[in-house]
Amino acid sequence: MGRHKTPPKFYDFEFHFPPATSLVRCATVHANWLQGFEGQLDSAHLNFLHSSSIPKTPNSTGQMAADDTSPRFEFIEKPYGFREAALRNYQDGTVYARIREVVLPYYSFIPGNHEEPRLVVVVVPIDDEWSAHWYYYMNPFGPVPEWYIKRALEGADVDDDDFAKDRGDITNTWNQDRVAMKNGHFSGITKNFVYEDFIIEESMGPIMDRSKEFLGSSDAVIVRTRRMLLRALDNHAQGKMPFGLDENVDYREIRALAIRYPKGEDWKTFDTKQPPTFEFQVSDAAK
């Protein structure tokens, strides 16, 4: 597309895994793609939107995130986007880092805990008001474990081409369960925790009026993304490549990481392909 005579290469990501070791599914959402993508980038919402739907067993992602609801964000700018760490102080005095890779304009590499399959979410526009959310789960060491598939699919529609199509819409307030809310459920969206993301995106309206936003410090990643996208538009208007495409980047190196480490270490020195091992591991979460 566009004026460039030579189409850029497809990114050569590492996620060329055979079907036996991966799981791919898609949901179509009635919201502009950027609303969906920004939701995927926002690390702080784990503690709020998903507070009732992500288990908080000891050492699980839910517990570690709940221990510090105000993560600090640090970034390393990359030719294709950035690496971002959400840093939380864990209860035993260590630091819990969720290190994400963002490849603009629409790839988010989501950190998983030790031995969990890798997850990449890709949010692409269908038109101005509809977007497709692709979920790629992959395990380089073997089949995606049953417990993981069960947790990912629980309560979702069985159609892998549109796995949240039974979420409802504004006419039935997305099947929000008010009785569950009276009993303490945060969102009242009880089918599958990813539905919470989709419904929040849709409930803003298909194209959000951003002039009415009040961004806070936990929105640093959103601000950074928007600035980079605007800069890419400027570059494109001047006939330059938007970002990344003309750089010599090994896209197979891009990988997210969730890691717990002693205070004083610096996540920026960690190699996501061969992360350092400390005497403790991030637990393999709630199975």
- A 10 A CB-CB count for 186 gives 15
Tell me whether residue 56 or residue 78 sits nearer to Fe ion (CB atom): 56
Binding mask 85-124 for Fe ion (x = CB under 5 A): ----------------------------------------
Which SS3 state, helix, strand or coil, does residue 133 take?
A: strand
Helices (H), the chain: 33-41, 61-66, 146-153, 178-182, 193-203, 220-237
Nearest approach, Cβ of 197 to Fe ion (angstroms)?
Answer: 4
Question: How many chain residues are in contact with Fe ion, going by CB under 5 A?
Answer: 1
Nearest approach, Cβ of 49 to Fe ion (angstroms)?
Answer: 6
Nearest approach, Cβ of 177 to Fe ion (angstroms)?
Answer: 18
Tell me whether residue 208 or residue 245 sits nearer to Fe ion (CB atom): 208
Nearest approach, Cβ of 200 to Fe ion (angstroms)?
Answer: 8
197 binds Fe ion (CB under 5 A): yes
Cβ neighbors of 44 (< 8 A, separation 6 or more) are 69, 70, 71, 86, 218
Tell me whether residue 101 or residue 197 sits nearer to Fe ion (CB atom): 197
Phi, psi of 56 (to 5 degrees): -115, 45
For residue 262, CA distances in Å to 97, 267, 281, 285 come to: 11, 10, 11, 19
Phi-psi region of 5 (alpha: psi -120 to 50; beta: other; left: phi over 0): alpha
Nearest approach, Cβ of 48 to Fe ion (angstroms)?
Answer: 10
**Beta strands per DSSP E along the chain:** 22-29, 72-78, 81-89, 95-103, 107-110, 118-125, 131-138, 257-261
Instruction: Indicate if the alpha-carbon torsion angle 164, 170, 175, 176 is positive or negative.
Output: positive
For residue 94, CA distances in Å to 86, 194, 195 come to: 14, 29, 32
CA pair distance 282, 61, nearest whole angstrom: 9
Q: Report which residue's Cβ sits closest to Fe ion.
A: 197
Tell me whether residue 62 or residue 117 sits nearer to Fe ion (CB atom): 62
Nearest approach, Cβ of 101 to Fe ion (angstroms)?
Answer: 17
Tell me whether residue 203 or residue 281 sits nearer to Fe ion (CB atom): 203
Tell me whether residue 17 or residue 34 sits nearer to Fe ion (CB atom): 34
- Determine the interface stretch with Fe ion among 10-18, 86-94, 192-200, 225-233 (rule: CB under 5 A): 192-200
- Determine the interface stretch with Fe ion among 55-63, 121-129, 197-205, 223-231 (rule: CB under 5 A): 197-205
- Determine the interface stretch with Fe ion among 71-79, 144-152, 195-203, 227-235 (rule: CB under 5 A): 195-203
Nearest approach, Cβ of 274 to Fe ion (angstroms)?
Answer: 29
In the complex, the residues that contact Fe ion under the rule CB under 5 A are: 197
